[in-house]
Amino acid sequence: MSPTETEETELSGMMRTANVERSVPVASRSTTLRAAPFLFLLLVMSGCAGIITGRSVSSLIPPIYRSRVLKSLKLSGENRKEIENAITAVRPEHREGLCFILAYMPPVDLASVSSRSLLENVETAYQARSSFPWAMDVREDVFFHYVLPHRVTQEPLEDWRPFLLKRLKPIVENEQSMEKAAVKVNRWCGRRVRFGQTQWRDQGPFETLKSGYGRCEEMTILFICALRSVGIPARIASTPRWSTTDGNHAWAEIWVDGEWKFAGACEPAERLCQAWFAETAKRVALVYSLPYGIPEDTTDLYKKGDDFAIINSTPIYSAVGAVRVRVIDGGKAVPGEPMCLSVFNSGGLRPLALLKTDRNGEARMTVGDGTYFVSAGRQKRSWQIVEVKANQTSEVLLDLSTAKSFNSEFWLRYPPKELAR
Amino acid sequence: MKPYLLVLMLLFYPPGIALGQSTSSVEDAVHLAADSVRDSLLTCLEDAGQNSLELAGAVIHAQSERRGDVVWLIMNMEHLDRLEMTEEALLEHALYADSARRAFNYGIPQDMFRDYILAYRISTEPATAYRRVLFEYFAPRVSRSTTPADAAKVINNWISKNMKVISRGVLGPTQSPVLTFTSRSGTEEEVSILVIAILKSIGIPSRPARLRLLASEPGGSSWVEVYSLGGWHPLYPFRPDRFGDISFLEEKHRQNVTNVTSLSGFGTINITSRYTETGHLRLRFFDRGRAVSNFKHASVSVWNDGALRPLDHVDWRDVDEGGGGVVCELGEGTYVVTAGIRDHTGSPFIMMREVKVCPQETTLLDLDVSPRFFVEPADARAPAEGGRIPVFTLPDLRGETFSVSDFFSSYSTVIVLFNQHYEPSARMVSLLNTAFMQDTIPGPMLVGISQGESDMSQLEPFVQDLNLRFPVLVDKESLLSREFGVDEPFHLPVVLLIDERGVIRLLVKGYDPSACEAIERKLRPSGEDGG
């Protein structure tokens, strides 16, 4: 189903605004720069007032996010005023949510987002939270990480929330069940968008709707934005490489009744956990999920940075085991050494997980049942084939002092479909 | 900057130009374009959806001497750019590219202008305007430079003193050049993008250079190339002291320069031989003694930061003589060739071979890709290879009915069962359609049979958008899927190759991109790996 003419006009208008906003900071587009000399005088004359204003914004930020938000304000550069305006203008009961978003906002968004956009995103999210029975019951931390965020991954910044809420509200408002509402949202997306190859850069939800097609990641971005617009917690999940076939895939995970369930984006499935890749996923090597920010429950983390976390959610899909790799050189443990688990995909052995050994020269990873190519080393190199079995830990020793040739042949075996999970 | 030029620019690009006016229309824009490009321009504007009015507006409102440039940009930009680009940004690119070229008069050859100055796209940054902001800031700073290289050195020095490289998390797109400029910070790639944006804005042909993977060292390297006085010169954003020094890369990474790519216009080119001695690697594949063409499950890799990593941007070319195979150009060094074949469980048998690539030589590697396994036992209930296709009579999209025998052909027939709502089906239908349109699989008919779709308003757009050039029948009840033991639509597609008597010569269930090469092998005359 193509967008209606009214939808097209609205989409085009919103995309144009978004494109202008993300190209330069909002402040730069205003008359601020032309009035710079005058403003400079004003600032000098009202120096104390400026310091007081800065203090009041800081005092509005909840302590839990204060240091992060102050860092974000610094990173925002010329766009600082827009963000400060949002912090002061937001409703008090929504301020913590806004500050959570700002605490983990990527620098490229901080440099260009408008206060209008920030406020609209937060207010519409809270509006949906109070409008739907399933949304009201969502825990606050889940709401923050998986409903409130303004973006999913690397798509362009767009004000999708009011647009999608307006269209989806009539479709889901009579549902009592979150799962049924999610299925209806997926059908709505699926009637508008199908799979199609695009370019390397990700399309945002508006571009995907306008095009009528997108890659799996783009369809997933649209689907997750649609879910979040009606208060359903969702995140993107992906396998960087299938192990039993070529390619990769991205889809959505939805928090329903205290657990994560999955859905193929824009697919007309009748329930969750029903998708074309469900069988292949039972033999998956690795699945990553991406929250916004860093959830407190960090037991299943693959990687963590200062402002991001990547969750290893493989156990949701397949039977998993662990592999523990120890890297030595001449008998001594080697800390800080790069280590990698690879699978065969698209004609080559491709990294699935990249880790560094700890101070004991060890690294550990949870992966699906199967066989993997494990390697380590910078200039010196070592590799082995390791078999990982469900609920067991496989130990691998990689000795960098023993050079190993790459002239070799081997199988990487995976459980047949009928035995998977 | 010469004052008269500023006046000229203001005359041509008055502030507050009204944009997106209702007077712009696609038809008007196409009418203004040269005859030879009208059809292509129309296709590109249709690809832009309703943003076509923005792009059409740029064609209509461009000065006549720049209209060809605007049309060229629209025809070459990627799909997402067509959805995002504004009339204002497009006109700015055309105006400032031309004005900068004339303002500085470096004697840039005409054939370099579009690919290396006008082409705005550098990497994965958003499609935004950047030339005016960067020109206004940097043009005065290079006004005394007499050559593009001199001007580039000024920019190089400015970048190394004023820009800071930062790392980013996993969220957020690539920053636009103007944001990188105003924030004075960006990732290494974003700084390189800014450098090129600045150079283009002041009329200097430039392009990104990228060495994605070093051999035996972590990571890769990216820098810029600048065209001056008849040649390309490397510019390393944070090493102005090494401007123009081709040997710098090899000095830093001795014998580890694998494959260097750049951008010409909107397409990728290989420039490895500018930076290191190169040789060639040729691979040939054999299945039970017979040469195999189109074998896709192989790659060349390097050791990099703890892992073997395939060089995906190598330019492989087919070799027609001497057993066929493929060949590529690589920097002198040691590589690992990997090839694999999967069995019915999807488990791959992998072959790895170390190879040395020597300057001015071709290293030949033959690989035996014979199956080391056997096909899974066929489901006794379902039709299998060697059996006959089930008899059916189904309607097409217009309601006209056909029986299966209508498609029997002495050239064989490929039938694909699909459900357009699921990615594997959409991918497979697209692959087959492309293979047939390009005549990669010459001879057989192709027929698509939609499974489970009763709503023509869902099926017809799919057929039109993919420009499917073969008959599509409609099996609303998914009867054929059930015959083949496929119970769920998302387990499709099923691809069949049948002969003129309806005997199944090849049966592929599920998405398998190698189905096309399997069909091609089956169609070869007996004695050439056919059968």
In this prediction, residue A415 carries a pLDDT of: 82
What residues of chain B lie within 8 A of the CB of A368, using their CB?
none
> How far apart (Å, rounded) are the C-alpha atoms in residues B393 and A417?
33
Q: Which of B354, B360, B350, B514 is nearest to B431 (CA)?
A: B514
Q: Dig out the tokens for B25 from the structure.
A: 């229309």
In this prediction, residue B528 carries a pLDDT of: 44
> How far apart (Å, rounded) are the C-alpha atoms in residues A230 and A234?
11
> How far apart (Å, rounded) are the C-alpha atoms in residues B18 and B88?
9
Q: What are A320-354's pLDDT values in tens digits?
A: 999 999 999 999 999 999 999 999 999 999 999 99
- Min Cα distance A393 → chain B (Å) is 21
- Give the CA distances from residue B182 to residues A40, A76, B204, B206, in Å, rounded to whole numbers and listed in that order: 19, 11, 21, 21
Pairwise CB contact (< 8 Å): A20 & B342: no
| Mean confidence (pLDDT) of chain B | 87
Pairwise CB contact (< 8 Å): A276 & B424: yes
For residue A110, the surrounding DSSP H or E stretch is helix A107-110
Suggest the residue from B54, B179, B369, B466 to mutate for an interface test with chain A (most A CBs closer than 10 A). Answer: B179
Q: Which of A130, A129, A125, A77 is nearest to A98 (CA)?
A: A125
* Bigger pLDDT: B173 vs B491: B173
Pairwise CB contact (< 8 Å): A264 & B339: no
Q: Which of B135, B94, B96, B121 is nearest to B176 (CA)?
A: B121
Sign (positive/negative) of CA torsion B101, B105, B111, B116?
A: negative
Using an 8 Å Cβ cutoff, are B74 and B80 in contact?
no
> How far apart (Å, rounded) are the C-alpha atoms in residues B300 and A54?
56
Q: What are B151-161's pLDDT values in tens digits?
A: 999 999 999 99
Pairwise CB contact (< 8 Å): A9 & B491: no
In this prediction, residue A279 carries a pLDDT of: 85
In this prediction, residue B16 carries a pLDDT of: 34
Q: What are A174-228's pLDDT values in tens digits?
A: 998 999 999 999 999 999 998 888 888 899 999 999 888 899 999 999 999 999 9
B390, HSE (Cβ side, Cα atoms, 13 Å): 14
What residues of chain A lie within 8 A of the CB of B374, using their CB?
none
Q: Dig out the tokens for B12 from the structure.
A: 């041509």
Q: Where are the beta strands (DSSP E) in A227-337?
A: 234-239, 249-256, 259-263, 288-290, 301-304, 309-312, 320-329, 332-333
Q: Dig out the tokens for B83 from the structure.
A: 């959805």
Given a cut of 50, is residue A421 above it in pLDDT?
yes
Which amino acid appears at position B382 of this protein? Answer: A
Q: Which of B435, B287, B442 is nearest to B367 (CA)?
A: B287
Burial A52-85 (b: 16+ CB within 10 A, else e): eeeeebeebbeeebeebbbebbebbbbbbbbbbb
What is the separation of C-alpha B49 from the centre of its chain, rounded to a whole number of angstroms?
21
For residue B164, give the 3-state DSSP assignment. Answer: strand
Q: What are A7-21's pLDDT values in tens digits?
A: 666 776 666 666 555
- CB distance from A377 to chain B under 8 Å? yes
For residue B437, the surrounding DSSP H or E stretch is helix B423-437
Reported ipTM: the value is 0.86
- CB distance from A275 to chain B under 8 Å? yes
- CB distance from A1 to chain B under 8 Å? yes
What residues of chain A lie within 8 A of the CB of B54, using their CB?
16
Which amino acid appears at position B150 of this protein? Answer: D
A-B C-beta contacts closer than 8 Å: 269
> How far apart (Å, rounded) are the C-alpha atoms in residues B470 and B418?
14
- Min Cα distance A377 → chain B (Å) is 5
By percentage, how much of chain A surpasses pLDDT 70?
A: 86
Using CB atoms within 10 A of its CB, is residue B157 exposed (0-12), middle (13-18) or buried (19+)? middle
Q: Which of B54, B80, B307 sits opposite A375 (nearest CB)?
A: B307
Q: Dig out the tokens for A126 from the structure.
A: 């809270």
What residues of chain B lie within 8 A of the CB of A212, using their CB?
461, 465
Suggest the residue from A24, A301, A325, A405 to mutate for an interface test with chain B (most B CBs closer than 10 A). Answer: A24
A343, HSE (Cβ side, Cα atoms, 13 Å): 30
What residues of chain A lie within 8 A of the CB of B173, using their CB?
108, 154-157, 201-202
Phi and psi at A58, nearest 5°, equal: -60, -40
Suggest the residue from B44, B84, B253, B296 to mutate for an interface test with chain A (most A CBs closer than 10 A). Answer: B84
In this prediction, residue B22 carries a pLDDT of: 46
Pairwise CB contact (< 8 Å): B345 & A19: no
Nearest CA in chain A to B178: A24
Pairwise CB contact (< 8 Å): B350 & A344: yes
> How far apart (Å, rounded) are the C-alpha atoms in residues B44 and B48?
7
> How far apart (Å, rounded) are the C-alpha atoms in residues B51 and B29?
13
Residue B299's CB is within 10 A of a number of other CB atoms, namely 25
Q: Which of A16, A112, A211 sits opposite B49 (nearest CB)?
A: A211
Residues 83-112 of chain A with CB under 8 A from chain B are 104, 106-109, 111-112
Pairwise CB contact (< 8 Å): B298 & A151: no
Residues 117-176 of chain A with CB under 8 A from chain B are 151, 153-157
Residues 308-367 of chain A with CB under 8 A from chain B are 308, 310, 337-340, 342, 344, 346-351, 354
Pairwise CB contact (< 8 Å): A111 & B491: no
| Mean confidence (pLDDT) of chain A | 88
- Min Cα distance B504 → chain A (Å) is 24
> How far apart (Å, rounded) are the C-alpha atoms in residues B9 and B98?
10
Q: Enumerate helices (H) and strands (E) in chain A, giving the number of each.
A: 16, 17
- Give the CA distances from residue B93 to residues A188, B25, B141, B201, in Å, rounded to whole numbers and listed in that order: 38, 21, 21, 9
Largest CA distance in chain B: 85
What residues of chain B lie within 8 A of the CB of A267, using their CB?
421-422, 490
* Bigger pLDDT: A87 vs B11: A87
> How far apart (Å, rounded) are the C-alpha atoms in residues A112 and A159?
13
Using an 8 Å Cβ cutoff, are B45 and B25 in contact?
no
Residue B485 pLDDT grade (very low, low, confident, very high; cuts 50, 70, 90): confident
Q: What are A271-326's pLDDT values in tens digits?
A: 999 988 888 899 999 999 999 999 987 678 898 888 899 999 999 999 999 999 99
- Min Cα distance B107 → chain A (Å) is 32
Q: What are A45-76's pLDDT values in tens digits?
A: 444 444 445 558 999 999 999 999 999 999 89
Which amino acid appears at position A319 of this protein? Answer: A
Pairwise CB contact (< 8 Å): A266 & B513: no
Pairwise CB contact (< 8 Å): A308 & B178: no
For residue B407, the surrounding DSSP H or E stretch is none
Pairwise CB contact (< 8 Å): A199 & B298: no
In this prediction, residue A48 carries a pLDDT of: 45
Given a cut of 80, is residue B203 above it in pLDDT?
yes
Lowest-pLDDT choice from A42-56, A281-295, B72-86, B481-495: A42-56
Q: Which of A354, A263, A154, A110 is nearest to B422 (CA)?
A: A263
- Min Cα distance A200 → chain B (Å) is 7
Q: Which of A260, A249, A261, A253 is nearest to A217 (CA)?
A: A249
Residue B527 pLDDT grade (very low, low, confident, very high; cuts 50, 70, 90): very low
- Who's near B117: CB < 8 A, 6+ residues apart? B97, B100, B101, B108, B200, B203, B204, B205
For residue A34, give the 3-state DSSP assignment. Answer: coil
Given a cut of 50, is residue A409 above it in pLDDT?
yes
In this prediction, residue B373 carries a pLDDT of: 64
Nearest CA in chain B to A266: B421
- CB distance from A194 to chain B under 8 Å? yes
Suggest the residue from A14, A188, A201, A373 to mutate for an interface test with chain B (most B CBs closer than 10 A). Answer: A201
- Who's near B355: CB < 8 A, 6+ residues apart? B281, B300, B334, B335, B336, B337, B363, B365
In this prediction, residue B256 carries a pLDDT of: 82
Residue B1 pLDDT grade (very low, low, confident, very high; cuts 50, 70, 90): very low
What is the separation of C-alpha A106 from the centre of its chain, rounded to a whole number of angstroms?
12
Pairwise CB contact (< 8 Å): B51 & A12: yes
What global pTM score does this model have?
0.85
Residues 21-80 of chain A with CB under 8 A from chain B are 22-25, 28, 77-78
Phi and psi at B307, nearest 5°, equal: -145, 160
Q: Enumerate helices (H) and strands (E) in chain B, giving the number of each.
A: 17, 23
Which amino acid appears at position A57 of this protein? Answer: V
DSSP letter for B183, please: H
